Amino acid sequence: MDQQFWDDLYHEKDQLWSGAPNGVLVTEVDGLPPGQALDLGCGEGADALWLASRGWLVTAVDISHVALERAKAAAGDAKVSWAHADLSTSPLPAGAFDLVAALYFSVQREPGHRAVRNMLAAVAPGGTLLYAHHDITGHEHEKNPGFDPADFYFPADIAEMLDEDQWTILTHETRPRTDVPPEARHVNDIVLKARRR
CATH number at residue 160: 3.40.50.150
pLDDT at res. 139:
56
pLDDT-wise least confident of 32-36, 117-121, 144-148, 189-193: 144-148
**Average pLDDT across the chain, whole number:** 87
pLDDT tens for each residue of 71-89: 998 898 898 999 998 888 8
pLDDT at res. 102:
97
- Determine the Cα–Cα distance for residues 110 and 71; give it in Å rounded to an integer: 29
Task: Report the run of H or E that residue 132 belongs to, with start and end.
Answer: strand 123-134
Does this model's pTM top 0.85? My answer is: yes
- Determine the Cα–Cα distance for residues 161 and 166; give it in Å rounded to an integer: 11
Cβ pair 175, 152 in contact under 8 A: no
Domain of 165, in residue numbers? 3-196
Of the ranges 85-89, 105-109, 111-115, 140-144, which is most confident?
Answer: 111-115
pLDDT at res. 79:
86
Domain count along the chain: 1
pLDDT tens for each residue of 119-159: 999 999 999 999 999 898 865 555 565 567 788 999 999 99
Mean pLDDT of all residues in 49-64: 95
